[in-house]
Amino acid sequence: MQRAQADLASPVTSRLPRNPISRRQIETVVFRASAAFGLLFGAQAFPIMLEQNGVLTPPWTIAVNIAVFGGLIFAAVSSISKRWVRTASSYVVVSWFAAMGTWPIGAVEPFAPLADRPWPWMLCTVATTAAAVAFPVWASTLVLFAAPITFGVVRLMPAGGSGSVQQVSLDVLYAVILGGAVLVIITMLRQAAAAVDLAQSMALERYSTAVGQHATEVERVQVDSIVHDSVLTTLLSAARSPTPDAERMAARMAENAMGHLRDAATSSPDGAVMTPLTELVARIRRESRGVAAQFDVTAASVGDGQIPAQSAEAIAAAVTQSMVNSAQHAGTGAHIARWVSVGPAPAGGIVVEIGDTGIGFDVGAVPVGRIGLRVSIIERVANAGGRVEIDSHPGEGTVIRIAWPVTVTVTEEPADVTPSGADHRRRRAAIVDGAADPVVGSAL
């Protein structure tokens, strides 16, 4: 028993997640989280601000309060609307530095020591977080150290409460650590999202390339099939026409070849057009009458199922080429029986068997350069989503089974259609799911 197997690469259907992680989504999460973070800390700082208004000048207090707390509200609104987010975050940073840096100016003379830190201290981490949102990493890092140091300098002044160096140093270190953790988290999220975006774009690019290559391969198979089936076969038949009947047959084949070329030029890649299975069976019957050999055609009821028009075209052409191969290579004589059997398959599919009791052939011994079976039958059916099985052995005939779709199994012995056909069928050769393995490609 000889077995040759090949798989034709078909386009892989890839389903992307409905909501894949992306840089844009991460940015939205970061914007809204930082805005909520700012509102929360602003709510905590508000009572302390009211308590410390007694040691601050009213004009400065009003201006700073509007600037700082208005900035927090502006950031929250922009994060929800997704507009001017970086502008609002930048404004939060600037307003905080303005409030903290001008604190000595707003304090009442003589400076009264504060029992607590200046209230902008409560929003120091908010400022560093807003910087991480609005600025690149280097600028955010600069703000990460500049904001706590600005507070430390003011805190050491009498207007800031004349804090001790040890306590101020701890406060500055705490602010740097907390702000640094936030900056690291935001940076890592952005980098991870950017990596996902890059991987997804590369995957889509490769998928598009694969689809384009597959389309090119399908077109190549179609052109090769037309050239082999129609043009070359017609030329050979015309050259071998010793009788008027043979000449008429060659003329009919030439007419069919021109029709195939016209159909190929006007064919559409739209796979939505469907062909009834009954129409496909009728076409197989018509094609059998145009082959220079007698075929016994039998067909079981295929029901009212439908098949994509392109798949129907490919199956009909593959069946025709199988009959032509049998007529040309199986031998001559009344003792050779040829048949075509058509039957239904589960889930609206179809199975077609083309067989003869001729000389048969060794699948593995046919030169690779011969494209009749490889291109015109195997690859053509595989590109249409079907499956081909070939049984042949020298001296014992040939049986080719074509099934659509590819999930249809054609391993059971088909029903007998001719008295002599059953004696010559063999369970040899290749179950071909696809295309041209170097062995299977060496076909007629």
Q: In sequence order, what are the residues at sequence separation of 6 or more whose Cβ sits closer than 8 angstroms to the Cβ of residue 426?
A: 391, 392, 393, 396, 397, 399
Domain map of the chain by residue range?
23-203, 272-432
Cβ(126)–Cβ(100) under 8 Å?
no
Q: Is 305 helix (H, G, I), strand (E, B) or coil?
A: coil
pLDDT band at 115 (very low <50, low <70, confident <90, very high): low
Among residues 41, 57, 47, the alpha carbon closest in space to that of 159 is found at 57
The string of pLDDT tens digits covering residues 274-320 is 888 888 888 888 888 877 788 888 888 888 888 888 888 888 888 88
The string of pLDDT tens digits covering residues 401-441 is 999 887 766 554 444 443 334 443 443 333 333 333 332 33
Average pLDDT over residues 58-67: 90
pLDDT at 427: 35
Beta strand 338-345 with 349-356 is antiparallel
The architecture that CATH gives domain 272-432 is 2-Layer Sandwich (3.30)
Beta strand 398-404 with 306-308 is unpaired
The string of pLDDT tens digits covering residues 72-108 is 999 889 888 888 988 988 999 999 999 998 988 887 7
Tell me the average pLDDT of the chain. 75
Is pLDDT above 90 for 142? yes
**To 5 degrees, how large is the angle CA 5–CA 6–CA 10?**
145
